[in-house]
Structures are given as C-alpha cells and as structure tokens.
Amino acid sequence: MAEKTAADMMVDLLVDKWGVRHIFGLPGDGINGIMEALRKRRNDVQFIQTRHEEAAALAAVGYAKFSGKLGVCLATSGPGAIHLMNGLFDAKFDQVPVLAITGMQYHDLIGTFYQQDVDTVRLMDNAAVYSERVMGPAHVENVTNLAVRMALGRRGVAHIGFPNDFQGQTAAQDKVSPMDQPHHTSADWRVPRVVPAQDDLQRAAEVLNAGKNVAIVVGAGARGARAEVEALAETLGAPVAKAYLGKDVLPDDSPYTTGGMGVFGTSATQEVFENCDTLLMVGSSFPYVAYLPKPEGVRGVQIDLNPARIGLRFPVEVGLVGDAGETLRALRPHLRRNEDRSFLQSAQEGMRRWRELLRTREASDQVPMRPQVFAAALNRAIKDDAIICGDCGQNTFWLTRHVHIKGTQQFSGTGPLATMASGLPYALGAQAAFPGRQVVAFVGDGGFTMLMGEIATAVKYNLPVKIFIAKNNALGMIRWEQMMFLGNPEYGVELQDIDFVKVAEACGATGLRVERPDEVEAIVNQALRASGPVVVEAIVDPFEPLIPGQIKPEQAEHYAEALKRGTPNAERIGLTLFRDVAQDVEKNRQALERALDGQVPDLRRSSRRLAAEQVGGEADEPQETLDAQRAAAPERPPG
C-alpha cells in the first residue's frame, strides 16, 4: 500500500476526525495533490466544483450558516485564492466558521516572482482568525487541527496555505523537529455553552425590571433561541424587532414581533424605538445605529457571545457575554412580569396596520407587476421547513417584508458585507447540507448575473435549488439610494436586458417567466413542484420606489430634489410614488406629500394625467416599461 501523502493526511483529518462531508472549490495546478487526495476519498467527502471560486467561498458560508457545521472551500494558488476573498469576508463579517485551503507555489520559489506566486497567508490576514502555511508533512496534523479549532472556536475564517510540492510528499520525506511530538493534537470539539456570572445577570435584571417600555432586538446570535426570546418578551411585555440576520429567530406571525428594522424595517418597529425606555439587544450588532433608539433616556442591556461586540452599537449599562439561549434561560428567573401590557399592545396595533398595508400592495393587479406581488406569491407557496436565501439589493427589501417566516423555516443572507451575488451560492451550500429540504433563493437580476454560471453547478450535482429573480433591469437599491440619500438623479444603474430563461435552459435547468399578477401563483407553484434546479424570471416594475417603514423628512426632500434635477422617467416614478404615498402610513404620507408638492408641484399633475390615461385602457406592457427605462438611461451612448 502506497504511503500517505501530506495532502492525504490533511483530507483524512478533515473527513475522519472533523466530519467534513462537502468541500466547495475549483481545481488548479496549485492543488493537484489535494485533488488527488479528494479523489481517493470521494466516497466519503463530496467535492463540489463551482464555476468561480467566489461562489465556492459563498457556498461554504451558506453551508455553515444553515447546518451549523464547518464550511470548507478550496482554491488554487494566486488568482484562485484571490477569488475566494469576497466570500471569506462575508464569513468574517457574519462570524461564520469557514476553512479555506489554498495552494501555493513550490516552497523554494515562494517570494521569487514565480508564476502565480501570491503569498496567500498574508493575503488572508485581514479576513482570517488564523492563517498559516504548511511547512512539510510533519506540520500537517498540527496546522489542520488548529485551523479547524480556530474557525469553530472563534466563529470565523481559518486558512491553510499549502505549497504544491509539499502536498505530494510523504511522512518519510520529512522529519519531526526535536521539540515536536507526533500526534500531540486532537480533534475533540464541543460547542461551548457560555453563561454570564450571577451578579451580572442580576445587574441586567435590575435594568430590565425598571423599564416600563422595553424593546428587544434579536440578530443572528439569537437563532435557535426562539422559545427563550418569546418567553422573555412575554415576561417583559416587550415587542421584538428582528435585524436582517435574525429574521428566522421568531415567526412573523408571532404576537411579539414588529418585524424588521432599518431601511427595510416596519413602521411598527420605528415607533417602538421612538417610545421605548429600555433596549435589550440579543445576538445582534446591527450596524445602522441611526435607526436604533436614541441613547438619551434609554437604558441598555446586551447579550452576545463575542465580548468585542458588547457596547459596539449602543452604550449599554450591562453586557452579558454568553450564548443567547443559555443566557436568556439563566436571566429569566431574575425578571418580574410587567403587568402593564400597553407598550406591547401598541406595537401589536402598529403591526396590524403594517400588515394591512402589505396586503394592499400584495393584492395589486397592476401591470407591470409590483415586486411585492411576486414575493408574496413565493411566501404563500413555500414549505414550512424551507430554507430561504437572500441576496443584496432592492430584492432584499421585498424579501424581508413580504416573505414571512413560519414553522421551522430557516433564513439568511449576506450581512454587514452586503455582497451581491450571495443568494445562489448560499442556496447551493444549503442544498448540499440538506438534500431533502426545499431550498429557495430570492434575488435580483444584478446580483444573479454576477455568478449565474453556478446554475450549471446546481445541474451538475443535481442540487434542486429554486431561484426566483425579481427582474427590473436595474440596480434598484443604488438607484433609490442615489435619489433618497443624496438627492441626485440616477446614473449608471440601468442594466442590459438578459433572458434568464434561456440562460437557465442553456445550463440544463428549467427556466420560467412570469409578467402578470394573475399568472404568478401558478408559475411559482410550477417551479416549486419541479424536480431539478429552476430559475423563475419575474418582470417587475422598475419604478417601484424604496420607501422605509418610516421615512425621514430629509429623505423625502431628497427624493423630490432628485426628481426636480432631472431623474429620467420622472413622471413614471412620480406615478408610483404618489400611488404609494396614498397607501402609506400617515407620517410617510405627510413627509412625502410635503416634499413633492413643495419641490415638484407640476409632477403630481402630470403623474395624475398619466394615471388617468391608463384607467380604462391598456397599461404599459412589461417590456415597454423596461424599454422606456433603457431609452432614458443617461449613461448609455446616444443612438
């Protein structure tokens, strides 16, 4: 029997000791030794070849997020390793355990400007909690065990750089140093359950018991603690706002939740934040501090497993370092029941009004189809244990608002890194981890285009992911940010049309298209019933605006300013804006009407005229709307 190579040793450790069953990556001559080791163990670990290394890293992130296990990705030296970086930073920002393995050039040519000679150990420094180069076969066991332990223990990226000539060497070709002892490391690992000290729990309880209007914020760190969060909310009479990465902590029909927060959030959440006197943050470092309660007069408590995150976004009086579920269970006996339920009841009434507004928009029969209609149809059709993957952009706005968590559904998307193109790779990773569960991704055409070659990956490995694309031929989020945050006319956001049905079919998947609200239910259900990968392209209104749950007066003024300064298709945008204003919550309606009537008074009249022309006649065909957007795009060359 041939002696094991250094690459064999590493793969055996990952498979036999650490339980790795999937590795996402792309072959290259810098990792040929590792690929041979994987070939030998192909019955025990599946190598999933992606079409781009970025997708491999993002798939590993999705795998880790939904399974709770270590995600592993593999890339060759130089450009292969560089391509991993975006996905690895996603893992870093979201505190997800991922092991990245990269090839390096021959050990004695590193640092000599050799072909693809990139020092991947230094490259990974800013993304990884651990990054080390293998120095020979005798080094493999030490480095591999420590790398995995660091990724799991520090909840981040660990990286191993492996010179390609060392990969094929055997133990006999190396010698253990006098100060080392072979096999002195082990692979024993259990997830630690960290609970704060009793005096800290008591201090936190004193703050929370003193509050009359307590608000709770939950993030990804509270996932898996649904029962504990609801029990705490019941005790304190506290509404619960969900950060984007905490969307699946509570079902959206929970009587305690006010839904999302921030730009994507609900008016009910913002009202809670304006009127609370105490804030409890559980497993969240939600970055948009401007949307959190103002610190003046508001006391704070925070629970987080990472001590560095305590007090990061809000000046809390008490920080509890510990696992969310364990800490909440330990905290609850110290708390008194708040008999005054008026704050919670007010939040519940706010959510009732909010849900009515959502239902109004979801019931629209207008053509071009409103994106809310598409997202709501998906919401009604998916299974109670589905895995839902988000992306980044305006599509996330519709997803967070109109796809409601129920049952044991899991949800995640890219967090503070906010990288486009994450939805499809996340779905690949989730489906690899759970081959028997329904996995869907709701994405935009901008993000999907970046890594759409991964549809071929889904087909090759029979990963029956369902990809739902809200297609508006625009970088929608950027368009509305240019207008709403800066008052600038849009520029550079219109996208060249792509037929995603043909793309799907060219890759061997099923492609479906839907353009009208009366067709969307049937198409969504057809996609979900199909046996293999499916891409659904929904043509949605590109002029559907982004309106926060509670728009700030300056944001409304910026919208009006952008329209006044010459945003293309201003009348068409005005039509959707005024329609949404009429439906919106009172504060939003007042702010937008005041801004629009003050800066662009003629726009209301022209938009009304445009609306009247559509009544009783044919609305714009979906393609006509996209063509109008294309024709007016200021970045396109004339002609």
The answer on 157 and 203 residing in a single domain is: no
Q: Say if residue 87's pLDDT is above 60.
A: yes
Could you give the CA distance from residue 580 to residue 287 in angstroms, rounded to a whole number? 28
State the average pLDDT over residues 227-233: 98
Element (H, E) at 318: strand 318-321
Pick from 532, 284, 537, 507: nearest CA to 415: 284
Could you give the CA distance from residue 388 to residue 247 in angstroms, rounded to a whole number? 11
Residue 567: how many other CB atoms lie within 10 Å: 22
Q: Say if residue 387's pLDDT is above 70.
A: yes
Residue 183 lies in a domain: no
State the average pLDDT over residues 616-620: 51
- CATH assignment at residue 222: 3.40.50.1220
State the average pLDDT over residues 273-288: 96
The answer on 212 and 312 residing in a single domain is: yes
Could you give the CA distance from residue 331 to residue 318 in angstroms, rounded to a whole number? 13
Radius of gyration of the CA atoms of the chain, in A = 26
Q: What is the pLDDT of residues 442-466, one digit of tens each?
A: 999 999 999 999 999 999 999 999 9
Residue 190 lies in a domain: no
State the average pLDDT over residues 298-315: 97
Residue 547 lies in a domain: no
State the average pLDDT over residues 212-229: 98
Write down which residue in 515, 539, 563 finishes a domain. Answer: 539
Q: What angle do CA 511, 516, 518 make, to 5 degrees?
A: 105
Q: Say if residue 502's pLDDT is above 90.
A: yes
pLDDT of residue 1: 64
Write down which residue in 488, 507, 539 finishes a domain. Answer: 539
The answer on 255 and 151 residing in a single domain is: no
Residue 191 lies in a domain: no
Could you give the CA distance from residue 234 to residue 299 in angstroms, rounded to a whole number? 20
The answer on 105 and 26 residing in a single domain is: yes
Could you give the CA distance from residue 160 to residue 237 in angstroms, rounded to a whole number? 49
- Average per-residue pLDDT for the chain: 94
The answer on 45 and 118 residing in a single domain is: yes
Tally the domains of the chain. 4
Write down which residue in 320, 349, 378 finishes a domain. Answer: 349
Helix, strand or coil, per DSSP, at residue 575:
helix
Residue 445 lies in a domain: yes
Q: Say if residue 192's pLDDT is above 90.
A: no
The answer on 324 and 242 residing in a single domain is: yes
Q: Give strand pairing partners of 101.
A: 74, 160
Higher-pLDDT residue of 176, 558: 558
State the average pLDDT over residues 431-450: 98
Residue 548 lies in a domain: no
Higher-pLDDT residue of 62, 182: 62
The answer on 288 and 168 residing in a single domain is: no
Tokens coding 567: 């945003």
pLDDT of residue 611: 62
pLDDT of residue 617: 46
State the average pLDDT over residues 470-497: 96
Residue 312 lies in a domain: yes
Peptide bond into 368 cis (omega under 30): yes
pLDDT of residue 114: 84
Element (H, E) at 128: strand 128-133
* DSSP-derived secondary structure letter, 19: -
* Torsion angles phi and psi, residue 62, rounded to 5: -60, -40
pLDDT of residue 170: 93
The answer on 606 and 527 residing in a single domain is: no
Percent of the chain's residues with pLDDT above 90: 82
Q: What is the pLDDT of residues 109-151, one digit of tens each?
A: 888 888 888 999 999 999 999 999 999 999 999 999 999 999 9
Residue 621: which pLDDT band, with cuts at 50, 70 and 90?
confident
Give Cβ neighbours of residue 450 (< 8 Å, ≥ 6 apart): 420, 421
The answer to whether the beta carbons of residues 340 and 331 sit under 8 Å apart is no
The answer on 496 and 394 residing in a single domain is: yes
pLDDT of residue 612: 61
Give Cβ neighbours of residue 333 (< 8 Å, ≥ 6 apart): none
Residue 450 lies in a domain: yes
Give Cβ neighbours of residue 576 (< 8 Å, ≥ 6 apart): 541, 543, 544, 545
Could you give the CA distance from residue 104 to residue 111 in angstroms, rounded to a whole number? 11
What is the CA 283 to chain-centroid distance, rounded? 16
Element (H, E) at 379: helix 371-381
The answer to whether the beta carbons of residues 232 and 243 sit under 8 Å apart is no
Q: Say if residue 579's pLDDT is above 90.
A: no
* Torsion angles phi and psi, residue 392, rounded to 5: -145, 135
Could you give the CA distance from residue 216 to residue 104 in angstroms, rounded to a whole number? 47
pLDDT of residue 484: 94
Could you give the CA distance from residue 324 to residue 282 in angstroms, rounded to a whole number? 7
- CATH assignment at residue 449: 3.40.50.970
Which single residue is written with the structure tokens 């839904």?
Answer: 259
Based on DSSP, count helices (H) and strands (E) in the chain, helices before strands: 25, 18
Q: What is the pLDDT of residues 533-559, one digit of tens each?
A: 999 999 999 999 998 988 889 999 999
The answer on 376 and 301 residing in a single domain is: no
Percent of the chain's residues with pLDDT above 70: 97
Give the torsion through C-alpha atoms of 54, 424, 392, 452, to 10 deg: 70
The answer on 281 and 374 residing in a single domain is: no
Pick from 66, 5, 95, 65: nearest CA to 41: 5
Q: Say if residue 99's pLDDT is above 80.
A: yes
pLDDT of residue 616: 46
Q: Where are the beta strands (DSSP E) in 436-531?
A: 439-444, 466-471, 510-514
What is the CA 560 to chain-centroid distance, rounded? 31
Higher-pLDDT residue of 613, 549: 549
Q: Say if residue 289's pLDDT is above 50.
A: yes
pLDDT of residue 608: 66
Could you give the CA distance from residue 414 to residue 24 in angstroms, rounded to a whole number? 18
The range of the structural domain enclosing residue 606 comes to 553-632
Which single residue is written with the structure tokens 């625009």?
Answer: 474
The answer on 506 and 581 residing in a single domain is: no
Q: What residue type is assigned to position 18 of the chain?
A: W
